[in-house]
Structure 1
Amino acid sequence: MRPAPVRQPGPARFCGGGRRANPVLPAGVSAGSCSVLGLKLGSRRVDVRLVKVDVCIASYRRPRGLQRLLGGLGQLCVGPDVDLRIVVVDNDPEETAREVCEAACDWLCHPLVYRTEKRRGIPQARNAALGVALGRADFVAFIDDDEVPAPDWLAELLRVQRIYAADAVRGPVLPVFESPAPAWLEPFFDRPRYATGQQLKTAYTHNVLVSTRALASLDRLFDERLGLTGADDSELFQRFAHRGHRIVWADEAPVLEFVPRSRLRLGWLLQRAFRVGNGSVFIDRHCRGLAPKRWQLVAQACWCIARGTAMQISFVWGGRPAATRGLQLVSFGTGRFAGLAGYRYEEYRRVHGA
């Protein structure tokens, strides 16, 4: 069953790239009207099937970060078989991303679509991007507006997708601290990494390539009830994997995430843990086919709080990092309790970075 139609928000603006109409097609060939590109090699004609990819970005009041990201996307190395387009959805009613996108049209070598989504919310903006992409692209690649990809990021995601016949490919996110971070704090921004090809149970939109055909098989796209709470991406990809779609890891397809000073503190780590716990309860109760019973959720929250409290004794031999991990577990459990009481914590109401 195809997902319900995505609301078509705001007027779209399209630019075809400043230096050339499309860097992966010969002059005179329209990317929007062909799927097979004929190349002559000596006396032979070889048909190369174009893979249409839309890089989707949801942006809210981060013009500097968006400009930095578009600069990185302009440096991507893709083969002649990739028809690449960039889709930016501006979630700010004041359209703070418009000027950045219009300026980028003068130098970007890839087509760019700019669209506004005035309903505030991360899933609202992501669904708007999919509303642009699903009618054209074979794959969508999601990346955040505080990140920059490696030059071979997209090529590597596509390579791993082909090798493992994956429906989605997820890659690593490496932190870059905009201000010096305390040494004990830095490891808390490291994320797990896996061997290339390892199958995963979920993915996140900070670095992922997804088949549009697989997305179209879902009963809905990003859950807009999770507007500013976060977790809409993990919720979607849990449903995605539950439906039998394959998610694999690509360890050589990294993006850099720029971490602002406002996140380099214990309070933010605990707020993030609280938010993750809060959002996980919503997913457990509303977004899964077989939801746990309420007493099971209460028991899990109690266990997290008790375990995290007991871990405070590890400060004696593990120092501040060990105690902080315990406090994160307490915050996670408290967030789950708050979710059970009906409280929704909107972490993303505040913007970090610019």
Structure 2
Amino acid sequence: MHIVNICICTYMREQMLSDCLQSLVAVNVPDEVTVTVSVIDNDASGSSEGCVSRAAEALPFTVRYMQEAKRGIPCARNRAIEESIQHGADFIVFIDDDEIVTADWLVNLYNYNVQKGGRAVVHGKVSQRLPDNLPPSIQGLYKGGKRFSGEALSACATDNVLIPIHLVTELELRFDESNPLAGGTDTIFFTQATSKGVEIFQCNEALVYETIPKQRATLKWLAKRKYRAGITDAWRKSQRG
């Protein structure tokens, strides 16, 4: 039996987290796989603990809740890695707290990894659900490049990804905590992985839906996000000379 630990990092988004956890109730589990769920709360006050406790009553998996007081998403992700190693996971799966999984999401994500030999990273598809009555000018900014299933990637995000445990044990990869609030540390993590020979493949059949709140569907918020993405892209280009 392989152990797959689904990790969700969260910070003060209880309703979205509750919806995310609720969607896991109906998820199909691959053959010969044991699923566990780890929720890493990046709020030192533990604001999501009650939400996780309620969700755990309905989930058919072992659910672990933990706080990571050091602020920043790379700190929470590294805590998820350490928890996964401690509990003997063979694979780490990251999804975001604002996402809803589909029934066959995990089966498709895991089985594609098996097809690729068991040591490749597999990135699933994220389909965005935008607020109603959003102006077309804003809607267009959410249309990113389309990836096809089987496409080899030079990097990816942690928004829907399966990671074999060897990346963090044999290769000792971790998320960079030197600038924890800057963003882009997941792209850097996977760029470093591919530089060490790790393969990353896209699997569109492993589908999740991301809920975009109104406060993020603005030019101001998107401009900041694109600026951070540009910094990360510049770093990647400098690494390639």
The change in CA–CA distance for 1:76 and 1:241 in structure 2 (over 3 A counts) is: same
Measure how far apart 1:220 and its partner are. Answer: 3.6
- 3-state SS, counterpart of residue 4 of structure 2: strand
1:74 aligns with 2:25: yes
Q: Report the structure, 1 or 2, having the larger strand content.
A: 2
CA distance in 1, matches of 2:228, 2:147: 25
Residue 281 of structure 1: how far off its partner (Å): 4.3
| Cα pair 1:175 1:190 within 8 Å, conserved | no
- Per the alignment, in what secondary structure is the counterpart of residue 66 of structure 2? strand
In structure 2, C-alpha distance between the alignment counterparts of 1:180 and 1:228, rounded to whole Å: 31
Which residue of 1 is the match for residue 169 of structure 2?
Answer: 216
Shift of 1:112: 0.3
Match of 1:157 in 2: 109
Deviations 1:201-257 (A, max 9, x none): 111100100100133233440000131111110000000011001100101111111
CA distance in 1, matches of 2:165, 2:11: 24
Structure 2 match to 1:58: 9
State whether residues 188 and 232 of structure 2, in contact with CA within 8 Å, keep that contact through their aligned partners in structure 1.
Answer: no
Alpha-carbon contact 1:177-1:258 (below 8 Å) kept = yes
Q: Is the 8 A contact 2:191 2:236 kept in 1?
A: no
Match status 1:129 vs 2:85: no
Cα offset for 1:189? Answer: 1.4
1:93 is matched with: 44
* Residue 112 of structure 2 is aligned to residue 141 of structure 1: no
Of the two, which has the highest radius of gyration?
1
Task: Tell me the amino acid that sits aligned with residue 267 of structure 1.
Answer: K
Contact 2:153 2:201 survives alignment (8 Å): yes
Q: What's the TM-score once normalised by structure 2's chain length?
A: 0.93
Gapped regions of structure 2 (runs ≥ 5): none
Question: Secondary structure of 2:145's partner?
Answer: coil
| Cα distance per residue 1:10-45 (max 9 Å; x no partner) | xxxxxxxxxxxxxxxxxxxxxxxxxxxxxxxxxxxx
Return the offset for 1:284.
6.0
The offset of 1:127, in angstroms, is 0.5
State the distance in 2 between where 1:80 and 1:275 align.
40
Q: Which amino acid aligns with 2:58?
A: W
Match of 2:139 in 1: 186
Q: Is the 8 A contact 2:30 2:106 kept in 1?
A: no
Q: Considering Cα pairs closer than 8 Å and 6+ residues apart, tell me whether 1 or 2 has the greater RCO.
A: 2
Q: How does 1:329-344 map to 2 (within 5 A)?
A: none
CA distance in 1, matches of 2:232, 2:178: 11
Give the direction of change, closer, same or farther, for the CA distance of 1:185–1:67 in structure 2 (3 Å limit): same
What CA distance in whole angstroms lies between the structure 1 residues aligned with 2:7 and 2:130?
24
**Residue in structure 2 matched with residue 308 of structure 1 by the alignment:** none
* SS of residue in 1 equivalent to 2:136: coil
Q: Alpha-carbon deviation of 1:278?
A: 2.9
Q: Is the 8 A contact 1:160 1:197 kept in 2?
A: no
- 1:200 aligned residue (153, 164, 176): 153
Q: CA deviation at 1:141?
A: 0.5
Normalising by the residue count of structure 1, what TM-score does the alignment of the two structures yield?
0.64
TM-fit CA distance, 1:276: 1.4
Shift of 1:158: 0.8
1:128-175 CA-to-partner distances (Å, cap 9, x unmatched) read 011110231111110001111111111001111111225200011111
Q: Are 1:83 and 2:34 matched, yes or no?
A: yes
User: 2: distance between equivalents of 1:87 and 1:258?
Assistant: 21
Gaps of 5+ in 1: 1-49, 293-354
Give the distance between the partners of 2:28 and 2:145, measured in 1 at CA: 26
Instruction: Give the Cα separation in 1 of the matches to 2:7 and 2:236.
Output: 24
